[in-house]
Amino acid sequence: MNTKQKNMWSNIGTVFFTVLAALWMYPIIMVVMNSLKVERAITTDAAFALPTAETFAGLTNYISALGAQGFLKSFGYSLFITVSSVFLILLCCSMCAWYINRVNNLISKLMYLLCAFSMVVPFQMVMFTLSQTADRLDIFGLKFNTPWTICFIYLGFGAGLAVFMFSGFVKSIPLEIEEASMIDGCSPIQTYFKVVLPILKPTMISVGVLETMWVWNDYLLPTLVLDIKKYRTIPMLIQYFRGSYGRVEMGPMMACIVMTVLPVVVIYLLGQKHIIKGVLAGAVKG
C-alpha cells in the first residue's frame, strides 16, 4: 500500500467511526431532547422527534424534577452513600490488605482467600440474608438500614475486590522502605499513613473509581436494605416512579435521567485517564 492509499483508508475510517460514534451517543441525546419537551409531546411514537416551537418546554421539566419529584433529596442520599462508602472501603481495605500481606499467619491467609472467593459469589446468593441481617443488626442502638450507616454494609460486601486489588499492589512494595521507617521510630500507624499510603495512591485511585461506579449505580442493595418510603437513592427513585404508581410524568423523568447521567459524563471527561486506568486494573485483577 502506498501512502496515498493509506491516507484514503484512514479517512474512510475516520468518517465511519464518526458516524458510529454519533449513533453511540444517540440514546443520550434522545433523552436530553425529550427532557426539553412538554409532557404531551413525549409519546412512544414521537420519542425521536426534535422539540419544536410548540412542544419546547424550556427548563420546566427540570424545575419540576428538582422540586416535586424529590430528585435533589435522592441525589443527596446517593452522594452521601457513595462518598462515605468509598472512603470507608479505601481506608479500611487498604489497611487490611497491608496487614494481611505483612503479617503471615492463618487469619491473614484465610482473609485473603475469602476475599478472593467473595468476588465470584453473585449478589442473589446473599441477597435475602444480607437484607435481613442489615434490618436486624443493632449494636447499641446503631442500625445499619439507614443511608448514614449503609456504608458499613458496602464495606462488607465490597471488601473482597478492594482487599484483593490492594494486596496485589502491596506485594510489590519493597519491605525495606517500611522497615526503615519502623527503625526510625514510627509506629505501625505512622508507617502506614506516612509511608505506605502515599505509595498506594495510584491503586487508591483505581479502586476508588471502581467502587464509586459500583455504589453510585447500585440498585438492588439499597432497595433491599433501605426503607424505600423514606430514603431513595437515584436508581431507586427512577425505578420507583416507573413501578406501580400509575402514569409516570415523562418530562420530569427525562430531566431526572439527564441530571443523573450528566455528572457522571462530566466526571468521566475530566478524569478519563484515571477512570480508564482504574477499570483496566480492575479487569486484569478480576
Which residues, 77 to 106, sit near another protein by CB under 8 A? 92-93, 95-96, 98-100, 102-105
Is 227 among the residues that bind another protein (CB under 8 A)? no
C-alpha 31/C-alpha 36 separation (Å) is 9
Stretch that binds another protein, among 58-66, 68-76, 185-193, 197-205 (CB under 8 A): 185-193
C-alpha 14/C-alpha 21 separation (Å) is 10
In the complex, least distance from residue 65 CB atom to another protein, rounded to whole angstroms: 14
**Interface residue with another protein, options 57, 205, 213, 255 (CB under 8 A):** 213
Strand partners, 56: 37
Is 208 among the residues that bind another protein (CB under 8 A)? no
In the complex, least distance from residue 46 CB atom to another protein, rounded to whole angstroms: 8
**Interface residue with another protein, options 36, 90, 115, 200 (CB under 8 A):** 115
Residues numbered 53-72 forming contacts with another protein, rule: CB under 8 A: none
Determine what percent of the chain falls in helix, strand and coil, rounding each to the nearest 5.
75, 0, 25
For 34-41, the CB contacts below 8 A with 24+ separation are 34/250, 34/251, 34/254, 35/61, 35/62, 35/251, 35/254, 35/255, 35/257, 35/258, 36/61, 37/61, 37/251, 38/251, 39/249, 39/250, 39/251
In the complex, least distance from residue 198 CB atom to another protein, rounded to whole angstroms: 17
Residues numbered 5-44 forming contacts with another protein, rule: CB under 8 A: 6, 10-11, 13-14, 17-18, 20-21, 24-25, 27-28, 30-31, 34, 44
